[in-house]
Structure 1
Protein backbone atom coordinates (compact mmCIF):
# COMPACT_ATOMS: atom_id res chain seq x y z
CA UNK A 1 0.00 0.00 0.00
CA UNK A 2 1.29 3.44 -0.94
CA UNK A 3 2.56 5.56 1.92
CA UNK A 4 0.30 8.49 2.75
CA UNK A 5 1.50 11.98 2.08
CA UNK A 6 1.90 14.39 4.99
CA UNK A 7 -1.29 16.20 3.91
CA UNK A 8 -3.26 12.95 3.76
CA UNK A 9 -1.98 11.88 7.18
CA UNK A 10 -2.99 15.26 8.64
CA UNK A 11 -6.44 14.97 7.04
CA UNK A 12 -6.85 11.52 8.61
CA UNK A 13 -5.81 12.84 12.00
CA UNK A 14 -8.28 15.74 11.76
CA UNK A 15 -11.07 13.37 10.72
CA UNK A 16 -10.39 11.21 13.77
CA UNK A 17 -10.46 14.29 16.02
CA UNK A 18 -13.75 15.39 14.45
CA UNK A 19 -15.17 11.93 15.12
CA UNK A 20 -13.92 11.97 18.73
CA UNK A 21 -15.50 15.38 19.27
CA UNK A 22 -18.88 14.14 18.00
CA UNK A 23 -18.92 10.89 20.00
CA UNK A 24 -17.48 12.37 23.21
CA UNK A 25 -20.10 15.13 23.07
CA UNK A 26 -22.92 12.62 22.56
CA UNK A 27 -21.82 9.93 25.05
CA UNK A 28 -19.15 11.37 27.32
CA UNK A 29 -15.49 10.43 27.36
CA UNK A 30 -15.52 7.43 29.70
CA UNK A 31 -18.42 5.74 27.89
CA UNK A 32 -16.83 6.10 24.46
CA UNK A 33 -14.52 3.43 23.06
CA UNK A 34 -11.75 4.02 20.57
CA UNK A 35 -13.45 1.54 18.28
CA UNK A 36 -16.57 3.75 18.22
CA UNK A 37 -14.46 6.77 17.30
CA UNK A 38 -12.73 4.89 14.50
CA UNK A 39 -16.09 3.67 13.21
CA UNK A 40 -17.52 7.21 13.36
CA UNK A 41 -14.59 8.36 11.23
CA UNK A 42 -15.02 5.45 8.82
CA UNK A 43 -11.59 4.07 9.71
CA UNK A 44 -9.99 1.16 11.51
CA UNK A 45 -8.64 1.13 15.06
CA UNK A 46 -5.22 0.65 13.50
CA UNK A 47 -5.52 4.01 11.78
CA UNK A 48 -6.47 5.61 15.08
CA UNK A 49 -3.54 4.03 16.93
CA UNK A 50 -1.20 5.24 14.21
CA UNK A 51 -1.98 8.82 15.23
CA UNK A 52 -2.82 8.52 18.95
CA UNK A 53 -1.34 6.33 21.69
CA UNK A 54 -4.55 6.02 23.69
CA UNK A 55 -7.74 7.84 24.63
CA UNK A 56 -5.86 10.32 26.82
CA UNK A 57 -3.55 11.27 23.96
CA UNK A 58 -6.57 11.70 21.68
CA UNK A 59 -8.44 13.83 24.20
CA UNK A 60 -5.40 16.06 24.79
CA UNK A 61 -5.09 16.61 21.03
CA UNK A 62 -8.79 17.51 20.92
CA UNK A 63 -8.24 20.16 23.61
CA UNK A 64 -5.16 21.51 21.86
CA UNK A 65 -7.33 22.44 18.86
CA UNK A 66 -9.34 24.88 20.96
CA UNK A 67 -6.85 26.20 23.50
CA UNK A 68 -6.90 29.97 23.91
CA UNK A 69 -3.45 31.02 25.19
CA UNK A 70 -3.86 34.61 26.39
CA UNK A 71 -0.63 35.84 24.80
CA UNK A 72 -1.72 34.53 21.41
CA UNK A 73 -4.99 36.44 21.70
CA UNK A 74 -3.07 39.63 22.52
CA UNK A 75 -0.83 39.11 19.50
CA UNK A 76 -3.86 38.56 17.27
CA UNK A 77 -5.44 41.89 18.17
CA UNK A 78 -2.12 43.63 17.38
CA UNK A 79 -0.22 46.34 19.22
CA UNK A 80 -1.79 49.02 17.02
CA UNK A 81 -5.14 48.32 18.67
CA UNK A 82 -4.04 48.85 22.27
CA UNK A 83 -0.92 51.00 21.99
CA UNK A 84 0.81 51.32 25.35
CA UNK A 85 -2.19 50.30 27.44
CA UNK A 86 -1.91 46.83 29.05
CA UNK A 87 -5.53 47.11 30.27
CA UNK A 88 -6.74 47.71 26.72
CA UNK A 89 -4.67 44.73 25.58
CA UNK A 90 -6.44 42.59 28.20
CA UNK A 91 -9.84 43.92 27.16
CA UNK A 92 -9.34 43.29 23.44
CA UNK A 93 -7.82 39.84 24.02
CA UNK A 94 -10.81 38.83 26.14
CA UNK A 95 -13.20 40.04 23.45
CA UNK A 96 -11.26 38.03 20.88
CA UNK A 97 -11.53 34.97 23.12
CA UNK A 98 -15.31 35.36 23.43
CA UNK A 99 -15.63 35.43 19.64
CA UNK A 100 -13.68 32.17 19.46
CA UNK A 101 -15.70 30.51 22.23
CA UNK A 102 -18.93 31.27 20.40
CA UNK A 103 -17.84 28.99 17.55
CA UNK A 104 -19.59 25.56 17.73
CA UNK A 105 -16.36 23.56 17.92
CA UNK A 106 -15.05 25.53 20.89
CA UNK A 107 -18.38 25.28 22.71
CA UNK A 108 -18.61 21.52 22.14
CA UNK A 109 -15.05 20.68 23.20
CA UNK A 110 -15.16 22.80 26.35
CA UNK A 111 -18.56 21.30 27.18
CA UNK A 112 -16.95 17.88 26.89
CA UNK A 113 -14.13 18.89 29.24
CA UNK A 114 -16.39 20.48 31.86
CA UNK A 115 -19.55 18.36 31.71
CA UNK A 116 -18.83 15.12 29.84
CA UNK A 117 -15.40 14.06 31.05
CA UNK A 118 -14.84 11.93 34.14
CA UNK A 119 -11.56 10.81 35.72
CA UNK A 120 -10.65 7.93 33.46
CA UNK A 121 -7.31 6.16 33.06
CA UNK A 122 -4.77 8.86 32.23
CA UNK A 123 -7.44 11.54 31.75
CA UNK A 124 -7.72 14.01 34.65
CA UNK A 125 -10.20 16.76 33.68
CA UNK A 126 -9.63 18.75 36.87
CA UNK A 127 -5.88 18.88 36.30
CA UNK A 128 -6.48 19.95 32.70
CA UNK A 129 -8.82 22.74 33.78
CA UNK A 130 -6.44 23.85 36.54
CA UNK A 131 -3.57 24.01 34.04
CA UNK A 132 -5.61 26.29 31.77
CA UNK A 133 -6.63 28.54 34.67
CA UNK A 134 -3.04 28.81 35.96
CA UNK A 135 -1.76 29.67 32.49
CA UNK A 136 -4.43 32.33 32.01
CA UNK A 137 -4.05 33.85 35.48
CA UNK A 138 -0.26 34.00 35.14
CA UNK A 139 -0.48 35.82 31.80
CA UNK A 140 -3.11 38.23 33.14
CA UNK A 141 -0.95 39.06 36.16
CA UNK A 142 1.95 40.00 33.90
CA UNK A 143 -0.24 42.48 32.03
CA UNK A 144 -1.63 43.89 35.26
CA UNK A 145 1.95 44.31 36.51
CA UNK A 146 2.70 46.36 33.39
CA UNK A 147 -0.45 48.40 33.99
CA UNK A 148 0.58 49.07 37.60
CA UNK A 149 4.06 50.18 36.48
CA UNK A 150 2.40 52.69 34.15
CA UNK A 151 0.03 53.96 36.83
CA UNK A 152 -2.94 52.48 35.00
CA UNK A 153 -4.07 50.16 37.82
CA UNK A 154 -5.77 51.23 41.04
CA UNK A 155 -3.18 51.63 43.77
CA UNK A 156 -5.22 49.63 46.29
CA UNK A 157 -5.38 46.57 43.98
CA UNK A 158 -2.29 44.42 43.45
CA UNK A 159 -1.65 42.89 40.01
CA UNK A 160 -2.09 39.42 41.51
CA UNK A 161 -5.48 40.31 43.00
CA UNK A 162 -6.58 42.00 39.76
CA UNK A 163 -5.69 38.85 37.82
CA UNK A 164 -7.56 36.66 40.31
CA UNK A 165 -10.65 38.89 40.17
CA UNK A 166 -10.77 38.83 36.37
CA UNK A 167 -10.05 35.10 36.20
CA UNK A 168 -12.81 34.36 38.72
CA UNK A 169 -15.27 36.49 36.74
CA UNK A 170 -14.32 34.81 33.48
CA UNK A 171 -14.51 31.34 35.04
CA UNK A 172 -17.99 31.98 36.43
CA UNK A 173 -19.20 33.36 33.11
CA UNK A 174 -17.67 30.43 31.23
CA UNK A 175 -19.33 27.75 33.38
CA UNK A 176 -22.70 29.54 33.37
CA UNK A 177 -22.60 29.74 29.59
CA UNK A 178 -21.56 26.10 29.10
CA UNK A 179 -24.55 24.92 31.16
CA UNK A 180 -26.88 26.52 28.62
CA UNK A 181 -25.14 28.19 25.65
CA UNK A 182 -28.49 29.26 24.19
CA UNK A 183 -29.42 31.31 27.25
CA UNK A 184 -27.17 34.26 26.46
CA UNK A 185 -24.46 35.44 24.07
CA UNK A 186 -21.03 34.98 25.60
CA UNK A 187 -19.72 37.70 23.29
CA UNK A 188 -22.24 40.27 24.52
CA UNK A 189 -22.34 39.36 28.21
CA UNK A 190 -18.63 38.60 28.39
CA UNK A 191 -17.73 41.87 26.72
CA UNK A 192 -19.90 43.82 29.14
CA UNK A 193 -18.46 41.99 32.16
CA UNK A 194 -14.83 42.52 31.13
CA UNK A 195 -15.31 46.16 30.15
CA UNK A 196 -17.03 46.92 33.45
CA UNK A 197 -14.49 45.10 35.61
CA UNK A 198 -11.53 46.75 33.89
CA UNK A 199 -13.10 50.19 34.40
CA UNK A 200 -13.36 49.41 38.11
CA UNK A 201 -9.73 48.29 38.23
CA UNK A 202 -8.37 51.24 36.28
CA UNK A 203 -6.25 53.78 38.11
CA UNK A 204 -7.29 57.41 38.47
Structure 2
Protein backbone atom coordinates (compact mmCIF):
# COMPACT_ATOMS: atom_id res chain seq x y z
CA UNK A 1 0.00 0.00 0.00
CA UNK A 2 1.41 3.36 -1.06
CA UNK A 3 2.38 5.71 1.74
CA UNK A 4 0.28 8.88 1.85
CA UNK A 5 2.10 12.03 0.85
CA UNK A 6 1.91 15.37 2.60
CA UNK A 7 -0.36 16.57 -0.21
CA UNK A 8 -2.68 13.58 0.33
CA UNK A 9 -2.91 14.33 4.05
CA UNK A 10 -3.67 17.99 3.40
CA UNK A 11 -6.37 17.01 0.91
CA UNK A 12 -7.98 14.73 3.50
CA UNK A 13 -7.70 17.45 6.16
CA UNK A 14 -9.44 20.01 3.95
CA UNK A 15 -12.11 17.50 2.89
CA UNK A 16 -12.94 16.79 6.53
CA UNK A 17 -13.19 20.50 7.35
CA UNK A 18 -15.46 21.13 4.36
CA UNK A 19 -17.66 18.11 5.13
CA UNK A 20 -18.00 19.07 8.78
CA UNK A 21 -18.80 22.70 7.98
CA UNK A 22 -21.59 21.68 5.61
CA UNK A 23 -23.06 19.24 8.12
CA UNK A 24 -22.78 21.63 11.08
CA UNK A 25 -24.52 24.28 9.02
CA UNK A 26 -27.30 22.06 7.67
CA UNK A 27 -28.14 19.87 10.67
CA UNK A 28 -26.33 21.35 13.66
CA UNK A 29 -23.24 20.51 15.68
CA UNK A 30 -24.87 18.13 18.15
CA UNK A 31 -26.76 16.10 15.54
CA UNK A 32 -23.70 15.57 13.36
CA UNK A 33 -21.72 12.38 13.99
CA UNK A 34 -18.10 11.60 13.26
CA UNK A 35 -19.21 8.83 10.90
CA UNK A 36 -21.27 11.32 8.89
CA UNK A 37 -18.32 13.70 8.60
CA UNK A 38 -16.01 10.92 7.46
CA UNK A 39 -18.55 9.53 5.00
CA UNK A 40 -19.24 12.93 3.46
CA UNK A 41 -15.51 13.57 3.15
CA UNK A 42 -15.05 10.18 1.49
CA UNK A 43 -12.67 8.85 4.12
CA UNK A 44 -12.73 6.39 7.01
CA UNK A 45 -13.41 7.19 10.65
CA UNK A 46 -9.79 6.26 11.29
CA UNK A 47 -8.71 8.95 8.83
CA UNK A 48 -10.76 11.46 10.82
CA UNK A 49 -8.85 10.58 13.98
CA UNK A 50 -5.63 10.97 12.04
CA UNK A 51 -6.37 14.70 11.94
CA UNK A 52 -8.79 15.48 14.76
CA UNK A 53 -9.61 14.04 18.16
CA UNK A 54 -13.14 15.46 18.29
CA UNK A 55 -15.78 17.57 16.56
CA UNK A 56 -14.70 20.46 18.77
CA UNK A 57 -11.28 20.49 17.15
CA UNK A 58 -12.93 20.64 13.73
CA UNK A 59 -14.84 23.77 14.75
CA UNK A 60 -11.59 25.48 15.65
CA UNK A 61 -10.03 24.37 12.36
CA UNK A 62 -13.01 25.75 10.41
CA UNK A 63 -12.46 29.14 12.01
CA UNK A 64 -8.70 29.17 11.51
CA UNK A 65 -8.81 27.89 7.92
CA UNK A 66 -11.95 29.46 6.47
CA UNK A 67 -12.59 32.68 8.36
CA UNK A 68 -9.63 34.08 10.29
CA UNK A 69 -7.44 35.02 7.29
CA UNK A 70 -10.26 37.16 5.88
CA UNK A 71 -11.37 38.80 9.12
CA UNK A 72 -7.99 39.83 10.50
CA UNK A 73 -7.40 42.75 8.07
CA UNK A 74 -10.92 44.11 8.67
CA UNK A 75 -10.53 43.73 12.43
CA UNK A 76 -7.20 45.58 12.39
CA UNK A 77 -8.69 48.46 10.39
CA UNK A 78 -11.70 48.78 12.72
CA UNK A 79 -9.37 48.94 15.71
CA UNK A 80 -7.34 51.68 14.05
CA UNK A 81 -9.88 54.01 12.48
CA UNK A 82 -8.22 57.20 11.19
CA UNK A 83 -8.80 60.43 13.07
CA UNK A 84 -9.74 62.09 9.79
CA UNK A 85 -13.22 60.98 8.65
CA UNK A 86 -13.50 57.84 10.85
CA UNK A 87 -17.18 57.34 9.97
CA UNK A 88 -16.31 57.14 6.28
CA UNK A 89 -13.58 54.58 6.99
CA UNK A 90 -16.00 52.60 9.17
CA UNK A 91 -18.61 52.48 6.41
CA UNK A 92 -15.96 51.35 3.92
CA UNK A 93 -14.98 48.45 6.17
CA UNK A 94 -18.60 47.40 6.61
CA UNK A 95 -19.01 47.37 2.84
CA UNK A 96 -15.83 45.30 2.57
CA UNK A 97 -17.26 42.85 5.08
CA UNK A 98 -20.53 42.51 3.17
CA UNK A 99 -18.63 42.09 -0.10
CA UNK A 100 -16.63 39.30 1.54
CA UNK A 101 -19.79 37.42 2.52
CA UNK A 102 -21.41 38.09 -0.84
CA UNK A 103 -18.43 36.76 -2.79
CA UNK A 104 -17.47 33.88 -0.50
CA UNK A 105 -20.20 31.67 0.98
CA UNK A 106 -17.57 29.57 2.73
CA UNK A 107 -16.49 32.53 4.86
CA UNK A 108 -20.09 33.41 5.66
CA UNK A 109 -20.81 29.82 6.64
CA UNK A 110 -17.74 29.67 8.90
CA UNK A 111 -18.69 32.95 10.57
CA UNK A 112 -22.24 31.73 11.12
CA UNK A 113 -21.07 28.43 12.63
CA UNK A 114 -18.83 30.27 15.08
CA UNK A 115 -21.29 33.00 16.02
CA UNK A 116 -24.55 31.07 16.02
CA UNK A 117 -25.90 28.95 18.88
CA UNK A 118 -25.32 25.36 17.78
CA UNK A 119 -26.84 23.63 20.82
CA UNK A 120 -23.41 22.90 22.22
CA UNK A 121 -23.46 21.22 25.60
CA UNK A 122 -21.95 22.99 28.60
CA UNK A 123 -20.00 19.77 29.13
CA UNK A 124 -17.78 20.75 26.21
CA UNK A 125 -16.20 23.57 28.17
CA UNK A 126 -13.22 24.01 25.87
CA UNK A 127 -15.38 24.55 22.80
CA UNK A 128 -17.84 26.79 24.64
CA UNK A 129 -14.90 28.91 25.78
CA UNK A 130 -13.45 29.01 22.25
CA UNK A 131 -16.73 30.14 20.68
CA UNK A 132 -17.42 32.61 23.46
CA UNK A 133 -13.97 34.14 23.04
CA UNK A 134 -14.51 34.61 19.29
CA UNK A 135 -17.91 36.22 19.77
CA UNK A 136 -16.63 38.51 22.51
CA UNK A 137 -13.57 39.43 20.45
CA UNK A 138 -15.59 40.78 17.54
CA UNK A 139 -18.12 42.40 19.83
CA UNK A 140 -15.22 44.17 21.57
CA UNK A 141 -13.72 45.22 18.23
CA UNK A 142 -17.02 46.78 17.22
CA UNK A 143 -17.47 48.41 20.64
CA UNK A 144 -14.01 49.92 20.33
CA UNK A 145 -14.80 51.24 16.85
CA UNK A 146 -18.12 52.73 17.95
CA UNK A 147 -16.50 54.38 20.98
CA UNK A 148 -13.92 56.01 18.71
CA UNK A 149 -16.73 57.20 16.47
CA UNK A 150 -18.47 58.63 19.52
CA UNK A 151 -15.33 60.45 20.62
CA UNK A 152 -15.06 61.92 17.12
CA UNK A 153 -18.66 63.15 17.30
CA UNK A 154 -19.88 60.65 14.70
CA UNK A 155 -22.50 58.84 16.80
CA UNK A 156 -26.02 60.19 17.01
CA UNK A 157 -27.16 61.48 20.38
CA UNK A 158 -28.26 58.72 22.74
CA UNK A 159 -26.54 55.89 20.85
CA UNK A 160 -24.79 53.49 23.21
CA UNK A 161 -21.60 52.05 21.61
CA UNK A 162 -22.10 48.66 23.28
CA UNK A 163 -25.69 48.38 22.09
CA UNK A 164 -24.71 49.54 18.61
CA UNK A 165 -22.11 46.77 18.44
CA UNK A 166 -24.61 44.15 19.60
CA UNK A 167 -27.14 45.34 17.04
CA UNK A 168 -24.52 45.14 14.32
CA UNK A 169 -23.73 41.50 15.11
CA UNK A 170 -27.40 40.53 15.37
CA UNK A 171 -28.16 42.00 11.96
CA UNK A 172 -25.07 40.46 10.38
CA UNK A 173 -25.72 36.96 11.74
CA UNK A 174 -29.34 37.18 10.62
CA UNK A 175 -28.28 38.22 7.12
CA UNK A 176 -25.80 35.39 6.79
CA UNK A 177 -28.42 32.92 7.94
CA UNK A 178 -30.89 34.20 5.34
CA UNK A 179 -28.23 34.02 2.62
CA UNK A 180 -27.41 30.40 3.50
CA UNK A 181 -30.99 29.14 3.64
CA UNK A 182 -31.55 26.69 0.74
CA UNK A 183 -35.07 28.01 0.18
CA UNK A 184 -34.30 31.66 0.84
CA UNK A 185 -34.41 34.55 -1.60
CA UNK A 186 -31.89 36.81 0.12
CA UNK A 187 -29.67 38.92 -2.10
CA UNK A 188 -26.83 41.02 -0.67
CA UNK A 189 -27.08 43.67 -3.38
CA UNK A 190 -30.85 44.00 -3.14
CA UNK A 191 -31.32 43.34 0.59
CA UNK A 192 -28.05 43.29 2.53
CA UNK A 193 -26.49 46.61 1.60
CA UNK A 194 -29.73 48.64 1.96
CA UNK A 195 -30.48 47.09 5.37
CA UNK A 196 -27.02 47.91 6.69
CA UNK A 197 -27.18 51.37 5.16
CA UNK A 198 -30.43 51.96 7.03
CA UNK A 199 -28.88 50.65 10.24
CA UNK A 200 -25.73 52.78 9.90
CA UNK A 201 -27.78 55.87 9.13
CA UNK A 202 -29.69 55.30 12.37
CA UNK A 203 -26.53 55.39 14.52
CA UNK A 204 -23.93 57.44 12.63
CA UNK A 205 -23.49 61.12 11.95
CA UNK A 206 -21.09 61.55 9.02
State the partner residue of 1:162: 164
Aligned pairs for 1:174-189 (under 5 A) are 174-178=176-180, 182-189=184-191
The alignment's C-alpha RMSD in Å is 3.9
- In 1, the alpha carbon distance for the partners of 2:60 and 2:163 equals 30
- In 2, the alpha carbon distance for the partners of 1:138 and 1:113 equals 16
State the partner residue of 2:106: 105
Aligned residues of 1:74 and 1:89 also touching (Cα < 8 A) = no
Aligned residues of 1:90 and 1:140 also touching (Cα < 8 A) = no
Matched, 1:59 2:59: yes
Instruction: Give 3-state SS (helix, strand or coil) of 2:67's partner.
Output: coil
Any stretches of 5+ residues in structure 2 without a counterpart? none
- In 2, the alpha carbon distance for the partners of 1:159 and 1:112 equals 25
Instruction: Give 3-state SS (helix, strand or coil) of 2:185's partner.
Output: coil
Instruction: Give 3-state SS (helix, strand or coil) of 1:153's partner.
Output: coil
State the partner residue of 1:40: 40
Count of aligned pairs: 201
Structure 1 residues 188 and 85, CA gap change in structure 2 (3 angstroms) = farther
Structure 1 position 129, deviation (Å): 6.0
Structure 1 position 42, deviation (Å): 2.7
Aligned residues of 1:66 and 1:106 also touching (Cα < 8 A) = yes
Residue-by-residue CA offset, 1:59-93 (whole Å, 9 max, x unaligned): 3322444436765325589x9xx883332233222
Aligned pairs for 1:30-179 (under 5 A) are 30-67=30-67, 72-73=73-74, 84-102=84-102, 103-109=104-110, 117-120=118-121, 122=124, 130-178=132-180
- In 2, the alpha carbon distance for the partners of 1:164 and 1:93 equals 17
Structure 1 residues 119 and 198, CA gap change in structure 2 (3 angstroms) = closer
State the partner residue of 2:17: 17
TM-score, normalised to structure 1, is: 0.71
- In 1, the alpha carbon distance for the partners of 2:198 and 2:74 equals 20
- In 2, the alpha carbon distance for the partners of 1:118 and 1:171 equals 16
Structure 1 position 178, deviation (Å): 4.9
Residue-by-residue CA offset, 1:96-126 (whole Å, 9 max, x unaligned): 2223333332455566668894335638987
